[in-house]
Amino acid sequence: MSAVPDAPIVLIEPVEGAGDRLGAAWDDLAAAAAEPNAFAERWFVMAGVRHLCPPAFRRLIEVWEGDRLTGLLPVVIDPRYGRLPLRHVVNWLHHHSFLGTPLVRAGRERAFWAAVLAVLDDARWAGGLLHINGLVEDGPVHRGLATAAATLGRRCDTVHRVVRAQLDAGLDPEAYLETHVRKKKRKELKRLAARLAEQGTLTTRRLADAGEVSDWCDDFLALEASGWKGRAGSALGSTPETAGFFCEMLAGAWSAGRLEMLRMDLDGRPIAMLVNFLTAPGSFSFKIAFDEDHARFSPGVLIQIENLRLLDRADIAWMDSCAAENHPMIDSLWGGRRTIVRVTVPLGGLRGRVTFALARGLEDGWAWARRRLGR
């Protein structure tokens, strides 16, 4: 007979200091999660807490079953729901978090969300809604939330949806390229690679030494800042806070065995760099930078062709591009698609029902008006 899990215990504590306090329990949860999410792992979250966001009402909801951590959900209070002044709970993300799926132990998805909803129902500070950004549509965590809400007689409405590129395993790199990229484009990419190689000594390599992490971090920041993001002030190196976050996060990802970095050098200087997180059975393409002085050779595309070597790994089944919807470059190379949704669930009591009805009624009205104006 399998052991019956202990009744869930829910703790709500400040996110600050949670990395040291939870330590190995957080890492164990990440390894056993129903859905991998690099952006919810300890090294990523805590680097963001330390560098990117000023202290605020930011809490970590922890669900425990005995001495085993079942799930973690960082939350904040948002005073506005879109255009409406409706106070509600939302999962905490920052500008560089590209997926909001919380870490939940496989098989405990419904139990986790049931415990979260129960504690938020009783929390006066929570307002009337739970709003979760960045869930994989119909993934086990999304389904667990929908099931927990339905058990309580509540809706779990999808209020926003985007579709982005995904790299799916099943073919070797050469076969994948032939299957998903037109022959004419493949020929053009080979020509560009040959032309680029004529400009000097061209090398492509992967980060393999802990002693190089800091130097590769600095090289990436400099390369990104040399382009349009630097001119716009949106590069990671544009502020001490984002630069500090990036370098601390990379060091943490390397220590956790999650970091992969690729670079393409011309005469010893980087002209394209790529940062990935490997979270078997999945992975995430986090950031890319390239030298705009060599843009005519498409170094950003060429390093993505090299990135297809990921398909040779038996432990990785997919890579999330983390790119914008309809991204012209990555959508033309990767044939898979991943749907990411934002959902809203009412909390308990009259306040929750009224707040949810008001929010969803106005959202539906705005959607109707946009359709009418579009026609």
Q: HSE of 37 in the Cβ direction (CA atoms, 13 Å)?
A: 29
Taken in order 123, 125, 126, 127, the sign of the CA dihedral is: positive
Q: Looking at the predicted structure, is the pLDDT value of residue 360 above 90? A: no
Please choose, from the candidates 289, 278, 356, 341, the residue with its C-alpha nearest in 3D space to the C-alpha of residue 315.
278
Residue type, 28: D
Please choose, from the candidates 273, 135, 258, the residue with its C-alpha nearest in 3D space to the C-alpha of residue 203.
273
Taken in order 338, 278, 46, 286, the sign of the CA dihedral is: negative
pLDDT digits (tens, 9 = 90+) for 33-72: 999 999 999 999 999 999 997 767 789 999 999 999 999 9
Write down the pLDDT at residue 371: 75
Confidence tier at 7 by pLDDT (50, 70, 90): confident
pLDDT digits (tens, 9 = 90+) for 67-108: 999 999 999 999 988 888 888 999 999 999 999 999 999 999
Confidence tier at 309 by pLDDT (50, 70, 90): very high
